Chain A
Amino acid sequence: MTGDWDLAEECAQDAFARALDRWPRDGVPDRPGAWLTTTARHRAMDRLRRARTEAEKLREIAATSYGDYGDYGDPPDRYGPPDESGIEDDRLRLIFTCCHPALPLDARVALTLRTLAGLTTAEIARAFLVGDQAMAKRLVRAKAKIREAHIPYRVPPAPLLPERTAGVLAVLYLLFNEGYSASEGADLIRTGLCAEAIRLARLLVELMPDEPEARGLLALMLFHDARREGRVDADGALVPLEEQDRRRWNAATVAEGLAVLWPPGPPDRPGFYRLQAAIAACHATAPTAADTDWPRIARLYGRLRELTPSPVVELNLAVARAMAEGPAVGLELIAELESSGALAGYHLLPAARADLLRRLGRDGEAAAGYRAALALAASEPERAYLRRRLRETDETDETGGA
């Protein structure tokens, strides 16, 4: 119908939502199936038209012609002949222009949603919890800068391509995380961001088939998305990975992630997203929590640390090693992290320590850790989970479980 399955699927869902909203009020139409198809088609056309219009506007705004780098002159080591990167797709130019590092990050995200996903300004504003006016202003400012500072409308030449591609991936990753960290109900619009991020990552993989990190990012998103159903319980509390009902994970999405991450042929070089996707794949493919290949996960985190050292990676490595070699090892590593002060104020640091203490049966100390984490955690599903753990470990609490 639209030649774009994701869009079609999503618009169909949207049409169902409208049906649920409208039929009780207006009555069920004579041919419900046809009504749904028509509504879905209109909605898809709307979005495609909107995206096309926005893309057209941006193209006009970006005043300079693309590709023609002959007049850059020296040095040839940085700027070669036109089309050196070998990529010629209008949508790809759009992505790179929207994600140009000279634009503020929030504007990059908003522009990408507007011109590539066809979201309205109001929709983007709601997704990012800002007012329509503020979002409109942000978009206007970004477009003005593209025009006035001459941000080029093109795919960067080969020497610039790796760093600029990393920038594009970062925007899509942020988009996905914005949606993923949101939960149910009032945050449904934000969860829609996950679908947009996946759609755009698919597009990027299609447009840059030789970029392993684009595939790594798409796979990473797919593995996380596959688990979405299982990660929050009926009360809205976060369900930790080991307690999730793995039958609720989307097997088809996991399979797609695996195919994306490991296409036939020689393995690609490891990268930031590929390594994280490989870790997510370990979880997604373990039939039960007990089957998780923690030594492999610890090795992957070790490589991630070599590539992009950060205290958050250290913390994850500590947890993986605790699961592989025993909680005591992890507690030692976490104590080092705590004394470094690098993650002060980060709720997952005391939460991780508390989880390891709980596994060792040191409930009193664990409860103190959960309490410390609870004081720092902001998201309600995470807080609900921490409260539950606190009840289970806090000996002074009579309602606590064994």
Chain B
Amino acid sequence: MRYLLIICTDENTTGALGPEEGAAMLADYTAFGEEMGRRGVLLGGERLRPTSDATTVRVRQDEVLVADGPFAETKEQVGGYYLVDCKDLDEAIEVASRIPGARHGTIEVRPIWER
């Protein structure tokens, strides 16, 4: 069963980290990735550039509408994701709870729409 674990954090907080804190966070993510890789649940995952680099695209009446910024202004923003393969929701919850960002942000666990 595949789940997308969407990491939502306040990028103002993560963006304001000092070099040491930033390095520590990176090390935490590396450790998480290695451990989950060994366990065989990790199918993929990336960190995203901040929403200041985001662009939204809509098509309305055949017209492509391009705008700056994320699709919604929220307190927390999507900062990255992992695609995992878990036995069930309990395992997905357990994996999500170990993502470093879960300690200050929110992880949304979304089952992949399987055909």
Say if the beta carbon of B94 comes within 8 Å of chain A.
yes
CB distance from B34 to the nearest CB of A (A): 11
Report how far A156 CA is from B89 CA in the complex, Å: 12
CB distance from B36 to the nearest CB of A (A): 9
Q: How extensive is the interface on chain A, given as a class?
A: 10 to 19
In the complex formed, the residue of A with least CB distance to B97 is: A78
Q: CB within 8 A of A156: which of B39, B87, B90, B109?
A: B90
Chain B residues contacting A148 (CB-CB under 8 Å) are 111
Report how far A149 CA is from B91 CA in the complex, Å: 11
Which of B1, B87, B93, B111: most chain A Cβ within 10 A?
A: B87
A-B contact pairs, 18 of them (CB 8 A): A64-B87, A69-B87, A72-B39, A72-B87, A74-B35, A74-B39, A79-B91, A79-B94, A100-B89, A102-B93, A148-B111, A149-B89, A149-B111, A150-B89, A151-B90, A152-B87, A152-B88, A152-B90
Report how far A151 CA is from B109 CA in the complex, Å: 12
Interface bits B85-112 vs A (CB < 8 Å: 1, else 0): 0011111011000000000000001010
Chain B residues contacting A75 (CB-CB under 8 Å) are 35, 39
Indicate if the CB atoms of A72 and B91 lie closer than 8 Å. Answer: yes
Interface residue ranges, B against A (CB under 8 Å): 1, 35, 38-40, 87-91, 93-94, 109, 111
Q: CB within 8 A of A150: which of B35, B39, B40, B111?
A: B111
Report how far A13 CA is from B55 CA in the complex, Å: 66
Chain B residues contacting A73 (CB-CB under 8 Å) are 38-40
Say if the beta carbon of A160 comes within 8 Å of chain B.
yes
Report how far A151 CA is from B90 CA in the complex, Å: 7
Interface residues of A in 350-367 (CB under 8 A from B): none
CB distance from A79 to the nearest CB of B (A): 8
CB distance from A49 to the nearest CB of B (A): 29
CB distance from B96 to the nearest CB of A (A): 11
Report how far A148 CA is from B39 CA in the complex, Å: 24
Indicate if the CB atoms of B91 and A102 lie closer than 8 Å. Answer: no
Q: Is the interface of A mostly helix, strand, loop or mixed?
A: loop
Chain B residues contacting A149 (CB-CB under 8 Å) are 89, 109, 111
Indicate if the CB atoms of A150 and B1 lie closer than 8 Å. Answer: yes
Which of B1, B40, B88, B93: most chain A Cβ within 10 A?
A: B88
Say if the beta carbon of A71 comes within 8 Å of chain B.
yes
Chain A residues contacting B109 (CB-CB under 8 Å) are 149
Report how far A114 CA is from B87 CA in the complex, Å: 27
Indicate if the CB atoms of A78 and B89 lie closer than 8 Å. Answer: no
Indicate if the CB atoms of A151 and B88 lie closer than 8 Å. Answer: yes
Interface bits A98-129 vs B (CB < 8 Å: 1, else 0): 00101000000000000000000000000000
CB distance from B3 to the nearest CB of A (A): 8
In the complex formed, the residue of B with least CB distance to A164 is: B90
Indicate if the CB atoms of A160 and B90 lie closer than 8 Å. Answer: yes
Chain B residues contacting A100 (CB-CB under 8 Å) are 89
Interface residues of A in 54-78 (CB under 8 A from B): 64, 69, 71-75, 78
Given A148-B111, A150-B1, the answer on whether A74 and B38 have CB atoms closer than 8 Å is: yes
Q: CB within 8 A of A152: which of B35, B38, B89?
A: B89
CB distance from B43 to the nearest CB of A (A): 15
Interface residues of A in 169-185 (CB under 8 A from B): none
Interface bits A137-154 vs B (CB < 8 Å: 1, else 0): 000000000001111100
Which of B1, B35, B89, B93: most chain A Cβ within 10 A?
A: B89
Indicate if the CB atoms of A102 and B38 lie closer than 8 Å. Answer: no
Chain B residues contacting A71 (CB-CB under 8 Å) are 87
In the complex formed, the residue of A with least CB distance to B90 is: A152
Chain B residues contacting A79 (CB-CB under 8 Å) are 91, 94
Report how far A325 CA is from B89 CA in the complex, Å: 52
